[in-house]
Structures are given as structure tokens and as C-alpha cells.
Amino acid sequence: MPGAPFTVADAHGLRSAAYATPVAATRSFARRADEVPVARRFIRNALTGHPAAFEAELLTCELVTNAVQHATDAVRVTVAVMRRGSVVHVDVIDDGRIGLPHWREANGQDECGRGFQLVNQIAQRWGFLREQAGTCVWFEIAPQ
């Protein structure tokens, strides 16, 4: 699996924007498909003028869509974005307790299974943290 370094962190290794300061912006959304474009606009507005804004918007949209489709017991999805110099760190956190994020191989005309492939190709680093209260999938991206 070539691409960005992948990390699965435990609670002691948490490096999440949701727990760091300063957070540029944090917002929670209902776990519904009609909230995905709202989350996308949220990231676009939070990163206005940043050279990695388009890529961060794309990856956030993929991860929020994953949470909506796969975190079936979740009620909320929270997006936290933080800038550290040129680096953008985004957390997508769902409050579901069933299942884990997992890699899927998409082939040919498959309509699903490309979200983590995109994250892996575009992000400099990414991973996920699974805790009792939910799952955080995160990525970091910087302009090329």
C-alpha cells in the first residue's frame, strides 16, 4: 500500500486536532447524507486562502461520507480543522461504537471503496483512533 504513512494510535498516542490548541474551527453535523455538503462548505470556509484548501476539502468530504455510510450507529459527525504553519490537520470524528475503518480495494467501475485510497495518495500522514466513545479518522496535508 504505497502512499502516506498510516497510523493507528491508542489513547496514549493521541495526536488529534480535537484535543490540541489552537483549533481553527470545529463543528458537529448530524450523520445524514445531506450534511456532507455542509461539512464541505465548513472546511472550505475554515481554510479560505490556504494553498491546501482544495485537497483538505476533498479528503474531508470523503471521510464524512465514510462516517455517514459506515458508522451506522453514530448520531453525530464532528469535523475539527487546525492549521500549523503550512500544515492542515483535520479530524473527522463519529460517535458510533460499531465497526472499525478498513481499507477496501476498488476495481474498475466500483462506486465505493476509494475514500481511503484518495486519503492515502493525497495526505502526508493519516490514521485513525478508535475509543469507546467513537472513531476519529485524521489526516495532515501541506501544499506541494
Nearest to 60 by CA among 32, 39, 85: 39
| Rounded distance between C-alpha atoms, residue 62 and residue 64, angstroms | 6
Domain for residue 29, yes or no? Answer: yes
Give the three cell numbers for residue 20: 490540541
Q: What is the rounded average pLDDT of the residues 88-98? A: 92
pLDDT tens-digit series, residues 127-138 = 999 888 899 999
Domain for residue 32, yes or no? Answer: yes
Model confidence band, residue 85 (pLDDT cutoffs 50, 70, 90):
confident
Domain for residue 85, yes or no? Answer: yes
How many domains does the chain fold into?
A: 1
Answer whether residue 52 shows pLDDT above 60. yes
Instruction: Please answer whether residues 125 and 100 qualify as being in contact, where contact means their C-beta atoms are separated by less than 8 angstroms.
Output: no
C-alpha 49: how far from its chain's center? 20
Domain CATH code at residue 137: 3.30.565.10
Answer whether residue 102 shows pLDDT above 80. no
| Rounded distance between C-alpha atoms, residue 34 and residue 99, angstroms | 23
Range of the domain at 108: 6-141
Domain for residue 77, yes or no? Answer: yes
Domain for residue 18, yes or no? Answer: yes
**The pLDDT of residue 109:** 66
Domain for residue 1, yes or no? Answer: no
